[in-house]
Amino acid sequence: MHRPPSLEMPPPWLLRDATVQDYLMASAEALATRIRIFPGANPDCLLDEHKRSDCIYLRRRWKELRQADGRKMSAKIDAVNAAGDLVNVVATEENKNALEQVKLEFQSHREEI
């Protein structure tokens, strides 16, 4: 399984996810309310804790989304195979059209990922 490198930005597709955007906004707001500047304060420590929890969340969400993509792709492949099997057994025009439709949906999903 591929993991995003720890020293790089998260992939753009992950940052476009609405759930991730909501989490990061709430996280930034929570950090802003917790930071207090006064003599002897160490906001760097608070920032480091926050970055760590955000990284953990992003890794977990990245994994969830990749697994969901894998399940969808597997279902699309199964649908193409099933439609192909049906055409091989009963080669009607309707079955051929259904196979072409499933192939188009599969190709569209591949391009989307």
Instruction: Report residues of the chain scoring pLDDT below 50.
Output: none
Residue 56's pLDDT is 93
Residue 60's pLDDT is 95
Residue 28's pLDDT is 92
> Which residue type, as a one-letter code, is found at position 7?
L
pTM for the structure as a whole: 0.62
Residue 35's pLDDT is 84
Residue 7's pLDDT is 55
What are the residue ranges spanned by the domains of the chain? 12-112
- The backbone region for 74, taken as left when phi is positive above 0, alpha when psi lies in -120 to 50, beta otherwise, is alpha
DSSP-assigned letters across all residues of 31-95: HHHH----TT--HHHHHHHHHHHHHHHHHHHHHHHHHHHHHHHHHHHHHHHHHHHHHHHS--HHH
Q: What percent of the chain has pLDDT above 70?
A: 93
